[in-house]
Amino acid sequence: MQHRTARPIAPAALKELRTADDAGRAPAAFTDEEGGAPLRCCLRRSRRGERIALVSYAPLRRRAARTGADPGAYDEQGPVFVHAEECAGPETDGLPFTDAHRVLRRYSADGRILGGRLVETPDAFARALRKAFDDPAVAFVHVRAVEYGCFLYEVGRD
């Protein structure tokens, strides 16, 4: 399997989300008193005392705007945590947030869902991702949290 890299939310999209999220709301930044929120800007967990915001994000809609694809009914938006201000981005190029139950949703290049898989153990994550990309129709995979269904990040074929 070739090396796969998690794709955080792109810096240009983050700049927009910090002004108005994909539901049209202004983000409400707050100080994270506990830490541990999965940040989609730098793909790590927040640290106690950091300023973060919970914003609505529509990954397939944004992809469609870039590529001209039409995800149809698969277009959705949901909550994601980001730093309230610009950050340095990911600290590593690995696959974060693999330490809990995850769902891997497979998508075609036009944003149509091709299936999904529940991953129940961290050691099964790499196998499930490899199996997803064994299907040549799969262009990208969304990694999501099971508890809330939140988008964590995208992994692309390239």
State the pLDDT at residue 158.
73
Count the Cβ atoms, other than its own, within 10 Å of residue 103.
17
CA 128 to chain CA centroid, nearest Å: 17
Question: How much is the mean pLDDT over the chain?
Answer: 92
Question: Distance (Å, rounded) from C-alpha 93 to C-alpha 28?
Answer: 29
Q: Which helix (H) or strand (E) holds 82?
A: strand 78-83
Tell me whether residue 95 is in a domain: no
The strand pairing partners of 116, in sequence order, are: 105
Q: Are residues 69 and 123 in the same domain?
A: no
What's the whole-model pTM score?
0.91
Q: Are residues 73 and 109 in the same domain?
A: no
Structurally, the chain folds into a number of domains equal to: 2
Tell me whether residue 150 is in a domain: yes
Tell me whether residue 125 is in a domain: yes
Q: pLDDT tens across 25-39, in order?
A: 999 899 999 999 999
Q: Are residues 74 and 125 in the same domain?
A: no
What Rg, from alpha-carbon coordinates, does the chain have? 15
Print the domain residue range for 59: 6-83
Q: pLDDT tens across 80-104, in order?
A: 999 999 999 998 888 999 988 999 9
